[in-house]
Amino acid sequence: MKLLKPTMMDVAAKAGVSQATVSLILNGSPGARFSEDTRLKVREAAQALGYRLTQRGPVQMTSAANLIVFVVDELTSDPWMALAFEGARERALERGVSMSLAVCRNANVIDDDLVRQYSQIPVVGFIYGTMLTREISSQAVFPQAPTVLLNCYDAKRRLPSVMPGDLEGGRTATQQLIDSGRKRIGFINGQEGIDASSDRLRGYRQALASNDISFDPALVYNGTWEPPSGYDGTRAFLALDTPPDAIFCANDMMAAGCYDALKEAGLRIPQDMAVIGFDNREIAQFMRPPLTSLILPHYEMGVAAADQILDIAAGLTPRHNQIKVECELIERESI
């Protein structure tokens, strides 16, 4: 009987990380941010299973295409799409392919002007990225070349997509607070109806259930992603008959408002109240105390999206229609 070779999925399962994390670590992707503990777990799992990485070289294609077009639905002061583009561009350059950036004026339908512009140019494929994690219209695709979706998805899974692991991130954040000895955990979420908010809330609830902690709706506050809602949510929690002993904020900006409310109330972080954020913005390391947070892995998502496009161009069929990239925990002094 012929033994099956171990796969990257096997390594991911043994190391307890995502397949994208295994790919990024074993490929030595520049800029990929993982702790030494995560890197060691992946390498040890690969060695124990006898997994050998198939090294990707320059893309061999029959056409003259040498360009990936990275299309975004909008550009803002937030760094996320810039990080995703940089990750994708670095990976493409490693494999001898260039990348250009285009902005779509309509968030739900690809501009006819963009379609016309690139219909005359041989391209390897398109990466279509959205600022908000969301479902996209089936019209938001390019007909003439492969398309990989980044931070968005087609509900019918007709196109491969790369997404942040928001649900697992919400579970990780909540579990971290539970492991630090906290039993009553408040959750300041983002706006209702947004995928990231829904997934992080589901992760929060799953962690509570796994530890036999009852879900209390009074401990969930729906914010706006901005500092004032972190402040208001914290004040609402402190006004409860039984306030929480920890607060999970669904992004670092709301955590900044949470800090202000706690300090105004004379409470110490983490002695009186543990706080954890999400996104790992630059501000997190400069808060006092420095904020424990989870990385929103857009750089790594860009790398994974570029790999998907380049593999398709080389004639490989993606093994998975949707890749979820791990939101790594960065431990600091707030819990």
Positive or negative, the Cα torsion across 137, 141, 143, 146?
negative
What CATH class does 166-294 carry? alpha beta
- Whether residue 152 is predicted with pLDDT greater than 70 in this model: the reply is yes
Average the pLDDT over each of 107-116, 127-136, 294-303 and give the range with the smallest value: 107-116
Average the pLDDT over each of 7-11, 84-88, 218-222 and give the range with the smallest value: 7-11
Phi/psi at 237 (5° precision): -65, -40
Residues of the chain with CATH 3.40.50.2300: 67-164+297-327, 166-294
- What is the separation of C-alpha 295 from the centre of its chain, rounded to a whole number of angstroms? 7
Spell out the residues 6+ positions from residue 8 whose beta carbon is closer than 8 angstroms to its own: 19, 22, 23, 26, 51, 53
CATH 3.40.50.2300 fits domain 67-164+297-327: yes
- Whether residue 266 is predicted with pLDDT greater than 90 in this model: the reply is yes
Please compute Rg for the chain using Cα positions. 21
Averaged pLDDT for residues 226-246: 98
Number of Cβ within a 10 Å radius of residue 23 = 23
On whether the CB atoms of residues 173 and 206 are closer than 8 A, the answer is no
pLDDT in tens, 74-94: 776 678 888 899 999 999 998
| Average pLDDT of every residue of the chain | 86
The whole-angstrom separation of Cα 20 and Cα 32 is: 11
**Among 131, 126, 86, 83, CA closest to 107:** 131
Averaged pLDDT for residues 233-256: 98
The whole-angstrom separation of Cα 94 and Cα 181 is: 45
- Whether residue 284 is predicted with pLDDT greater than 80 in this model: the reply is yes
